[in-house]
Amino acid sequence: MFDPVDPKQSLPNLEEGILRYWREEDIFKRSLKQRSRGTANKPWDSPQGGDSEQYSFYDGPPFATGLPHYGHLLAGTIKDVIPRYQTMRGKYVERRFGWDCHGLPIENMIEQENNIKNKQEIEERGVGWFNDLCRASVQRYTGEWRKVVERMGRWVDMDWDYRTMDAEYMESMWWAFSELYRKNLLYEGHKPMHICPRCVTPLSNFEVTQGYKDVDDLSVIWKFKLLNEKDPTFVLAWTTTPWSTLSTMGLSIHPDALYVKALVNGEYIIFAKERLEDMLKESASYEVVDEFAGNTLVGAQYEHIVDWYGALPEVRENPGVYHLYAGDYVDPAEGTGIVTINGSYGEIDMEAAKKNGIPFVMDVDMTGHFTDMAGPYAGMYVKDAEKKLIADAEAKGKVWRKAQFRHSYPHCWRCDSPLLNYATSSWFVKVEEIKEKMLRNNAKTEWMPATIRDGRYGKWLEGARDWAISRNRYWGTPLPIWRNEHGDMDVIGSRDELMNEKRIRFTKITALRHGESEGNLIPIYQGKVPGTNLTQSGRKQAKELAKHFKNEKIRTVYCSPLSRTKQTAEILAKQIGAEVRVDERLREVSFGEYEGKTVDFSDLSFLKARRAHKLETGKPESIYHFEGMETWNAVAERIGSFLHEILPKHRSEHVLVVTHADPIQNIRSFFTGQDPMKLSHQPYPRYLQPYTFFWDHDRCEQMDLHKDKVDEIRWQGSACEKSVQLTLVRHGETDWNTVKRYQGIKDLPLNDKGKQQAAELAKKLRKQKFDVVVSSDLKRAAETAQALAKELKISVCEQWEELRERGHGDWEGQLVQDVLQEYPCHKLKKMSLNFHHNTAAKGERLSDFLARAETVCLRLLKKYPGKKVLLVSHGGTEKALRTVIENLSYEEAVNAQPEKAAAFVTSLNPFVSRIPEVVDCWFESGSMPYAQRHYPFEVGDRDRKTPPAFPADFIAEGLDQTRAWFYTLMVLSTALFNETPFRHVVVNGIVLAEDGKKMSKRLRNYPDPM
Ligand SMILES: [Zn+2]
């Protein structure tokens, strides 16, 4: 029954042989396919799994910054075994590999590699520069990971992976964020938090728990001299952060505990009775002269160890500073039983300071250095400054004792710097508010080992604190909050919403494959016009899909000239009221001599040969592609030409493109820049499956939600006292205007008619008062402005170069009509070139022209807030200004051509801009249940309350994730869906390195597993 076993069999060779067999036969993907029988009625809505029962598995994304180690192998094996078993039981188990691409791990790596010392250096060199480095490095180790994952025999789809830095993933994060905001589970708070002074960002409480280490620190017992005493009397107060004593504003004493007053060397000292022995162990002789409860001293005033803080206004004006206060939290058995209160650098301290109404003085910046406030210690790192501070105070007899002590202190989990407790602003998720729900959801889960659920994990949930999710960093998902200091605030939850705030900058494209056609059923190669018709089912699918686009205001559907795409486009267009345009470049791949033929792909040995051929050649064409057919590159070229031509024409619009499977892959590659080879290994586009993209015209690339890209996007807030009252005026006529020659930045003076127009306008405006007239520096505008200023008696008259007309290079001086004949602009109702979507040779891009208009707006807001400004410019400039101010669509802008010397009144309000923070990368990995599926943006998602395949039937990770990934999953799924994100979880122990430490990519303390 079995072949005899070769006793000399090399096990590694045997394994390699099996792996080769799996690869050639594509066993993993076929095992998935086997479980996805038939097709659903709505293919775009069906899980890949078709009819089989699904078993949902979530892969926790590793940080993409290092190589896999033995801990990953152990967890990876567990992640492999269970899904395999469930597949054997007949279930469909999708397994997508994920990558955690953002956050401190990668930022630290890039900083080290580029010798970047601090944040300032990053900002000087540019956030875009830094983020590009991060982006380029993120996928550095994917090849190595693949080798290890395949070698260990794990079945997981590394072609169809998810990456937290992809536009779709980030869009789902924005959705989650806006949902939390809508549910009132998000707030901005000013709290003491642990910050990393090197990374210059606050960390969450669970990040802090990852980095506790035993360290030696200095504790100091200060002598604070009591005022209003006959004899020199000092209270002894202790601190474990001596640097914070400079800005200490009060002392806390336990009101009920006993304190003693002792005479030592002619001075009286006061401290807790319990500490008597320890306090006086170094004193040869002493005498205890008094004993009293702590509240006797409450209200006593003392002299601070330094005097200049007393001069700060908030200190000088606060009668409560430098007094003793009652504090129940003070432990009379520790230190001296009297502690310093500094509200800026500790949570208990902050509460004590608040309660007693004493000020918070921040004399340290976020990098851990003293500010100018600290006098002689300014500019020093606090830990360095503290030695000098103690020495200086000792010289003045203000130190009773100092001592080294060993304690467990938190360090940055990424860069090992000791953290500082520091009050700062951050955005928080209200975890405490949903704690009960989290516990209830946890009760629905099953753990292996079982004790972790209510033990380590459950206890952690019970003690959960509000989660600080904002990071003052760069490479992460930006918090989508735009606001200004006048009370406007917008939380943006999708790319659609962002596009809606800046309509002219973007175009939305949805590309889809045609519906099922007769030829697809056989199947035959059909790349030539007309090809076969849609089947009944194909027509039905198209009608069904159209419903989803009803509210999208789509006016144009482009399609390939073949029957199946044309028919699909016509059905869609009819339902949504759009116009169909056939474009030759969208046609199917040309199949050469295979045209009209059928190939038997049910022959398994033939299929195997085709797969082997693809593996061997390493080309992106599918296995159905033969010699002589049109290549990927040829299709890419015509698709690129099509998109580059149509995109500029459809600024502000949503356009549908109906084409075929292979061109769809090319369109995906065009927008996302993904490796065609990788795309070709991902699931093939299904009938009518929509792929949506946003094109950013300013950057000529796909809309990217990273900080360096979105921070430059601003828009107008609401009217307030800082708004500029703007009256826009176009110059009077010139000789070129008369004959309709495009002037651009050619400098022509007004002609007689133009002068007369200016004079008439002045008459019209005579009743109004303006604070200032600003004009373009070109003669035709400047002359108009001077005429108006003179007539209206406006004393301030400025000329700004930024207000010039759009420069059109070679088009300048030509007749508008001639140019339009050569370069038609279909949106134009009136003859004009200034908003033409094309850029003339040596001309200014429309995007640059609009950016110039925005500069003008910002300059006006800064220079003339609340003023009435008369602004004289040009036809194009006025449109550009109005586009920026009123968020006009491209079509509205093109046709908003002002008349010569006519006035248009508008209000220019302060802009909202994005807050600078990015989100904690643990928020991102905790978002994978919805973000890996781009929920809720895929077409079928609108009818769902939770993402497809949610919650997971099974997840697995190491024990360290109870306070990390397992935790963030639970917080976010409870907050968003009030449901547990997983049902079963297997937790493995931590594989330690030989040195007994945790294996760490960062420390590189383990040998190469390969
Ligand atoms: Zn750090």
Quick: pLDDT tens for 590-604.
999 999 999 888 888
Cβ–Cβ under 8 Å, residues 544 and 519: no
- Report CA(368)–ligand 1 centroid distance (Å): 12
- Report CA(429)–ligand 1 centroid distance (Å): 22
- Report CA(363)–ligand 1 centroid distance (Å): 21
Mean pLDDT of 714-720: 96
Out of 107, 171, 805, 957, pick the active-site residue.
Answer: 805
- Report CA(418)–ligand 1 centroid distance (Å): 8
Q: Is 940 helix (H, G, I), strand (E, B) or coil?
A: helix
48 pLDDT higher than 60: no
pLDDT in tens, 429-451: 999 999 999 999 999 999 999 99
pLDDT in tens, 321-346: 999 999 999 999 999 999 999 988 88
Is residue 304 flagged as an active site residue?
no
Tell me if the bond preceding 523 is cis, omega within 30° of 0.
yes
pLDDT number for residue 40: 40
The β-bridge partners of 409 are: 213
- Report CA(920)–ligand 1 centroid distance (Å): 13
Backbone CA torsion sign across 962, 968, 970, 971: positive
41 pLDDT higher than 60: no
Residue 615: CB atoms within 10 Å: 12
Mean pLDDT of 447-476: 94
- Report CA(1003)–ligand 1 centroid distance (Å): 15
Q: Please name the amino acid found at residue 939.
A: V
Mean pLDDT of 287-299: 93
- Report CA(473)–ligand 1 centroid distance (Å): 11
Structural element, H or E, at residue 658: strand 654-659
- Among 38-52, 66-80, 340-354, name the one with the lowest average pLDDT: 38-52
- Report CA(936)–ligand 1 centroid distance (Å): 34
pLDDT number for residue 292: 95
Q: Is 38 helix (H, G, I), strand (E, B) or coil?
A: coil
Query: Which residue, chain included where needed, has tokens 């015509």?
Result: 638
Residue 886: CB atoms within 10 Å: 14
The β-bridge partners of 879 are: none
How far, CA to CA in Å, does 764 sit from each of 99, 137, 316, 599, 722? 64, 62, 58, 78, 27
- Report CA(292)–ligand 1 centroid distance (Å): 46
Cβ–Cβ under 8 Å, residues 484 and 715: no
Beta strands at 481-483 and 489-491: parallel, antiparallel or unpaired: antiparallel
Confidence of residue 1007 (pLDDT cuts 50, 70, 90): confident
How far, CA to CA in Å, does 164 sit from each of 98, 108, 141, 310, 934? 8, 18, 16, 50, 11
Main-chain dihedrals φ then ψ at residue 92, nearest 5 degrees: -95, 120
Is residue 805 flagged as an active site residue?
yes
How far apart are alpha carbons 618 and 107 in whole angstroms? 33
pLDDT number for residue 2: 76
523 pLDDT higher than 90: no
Structural element, H or E, at residue 446: strand 446-448
Confidence of residue 691 (pLDDT cuts 50, 70, 90): very high
Confidence of residue 405 (pLDDT cuts 50, 70, 90): confident
913 pLDDT higher than 90: yes
Q: Is 12 helix (H, G, I), strand (E, B) or coil?
A: helix
Tell me if the bond preceding 936 is cis, omega within 30° of 0.
yes
pLDDT number for residue 51: 62
- Report CA(417)–ligand 1 centroid distance (Å): 6
pLDDT number for residue 669: 97
Mean pLDDT of 897-918: 92
Cβ–Cβ under 8 Å, residues 757 and 787: no
pLDDT in tens, 549-560: 988 999 999 999
655 pLDDT higher than 70: yes
Q: Which two tokens stand for residue 436?
A: 């009960």
pLDDT in tens, 11-34: 889 999 999 999 888 899 888 888
| Cα angle, residue 72 at apex, residues 71 and 73 outer, rounded to 5° | 90
Mean pLDDT of 801-813: 96
Out of 731, 808, 837, 874, pick the active-site residue.
Answer: 731
Q: Comparing C-alpha atoms, which of 510, 489, 506 is closest to residue 498?
A: 506
49 pLDDT higher than 50: no
- Mean pLDDT across the chain: 92
Q: Which two tokens stand for residue 409?
A: 């202190």
Confidence of residue 175 (pLDDT cuts 50, 70, 90): very high
The residue among 464 and 615 whose pLDDT is bigger is 464
Eight-class DSSP state of 455 = I
- Report CA(921)–ligand 1 centroid distance (Å): 14
Q: Is 611 helix (H, G, I), strand (E, B) or coil?
A: helix
pLDDT number for residue 312: 92
Residue 769: CB atoms within 10 Å: 10
pLDDT in tens, 60-90: 888 877 778 888 889 999 999 999 999 999 9
pLDDT number for residue 750: 96
pLDDT in tens, 256-278: 999 999 999 889 999 999 999 88
Of the chain, the percentage scoring pLDDT greater than 90 comes to 74
- Report CA(412)–ligand 1 centroid distance (Å): 5
Eight-class DSSP state of 456 = I
If you average pLDDT over each of 51-60, 287-296, 695-704, which comes out highest? Answer: 695-704
What are the b/e assignments for 114-134, b being 16+ CB within 10 Å?
eebeebeebeeeebeebbebb
pLDDT number for residue 1001: 63
- Report CA(104)–ligand 1 centroid distance (Å): 8
733 pLDDT higher than 90: yes
- Report CA(759)–ligand 1 centroid distance (Å): 66
816 pLDDT higher than 90: yes
Contacts of 811 (CB under 8 A, 6+ apart): 742, 744, 819, 833, 840, 843
How far, CA to CA in Å, does 389 sit from each of 245, 344, 363, 420, 816? 9, 19, 14, 18, 75
- Report CA(912)–ligand 1 centroid distance (Å): 31
pLDDT number for residue 142: 87
pLDDT number for residue 19: 92
How far apart are alpha carbons 153 and 150 in whole angstroms? 5
How far apart are alpha carbons 327 and 338 in whole angstroms? 9
496 class by beta-carbon count within 10 Å (0-12 exposed, 13-18 middle, 19+ buried): middle
- The torsion region of residue 498 among left (phi > 0), alpha (psi -120 to 50) and beta comes to alpha
Contacts of 997 (CB under 8 A, 6+ apart): 1003, 1005
Residues present in the chain in total: 1010
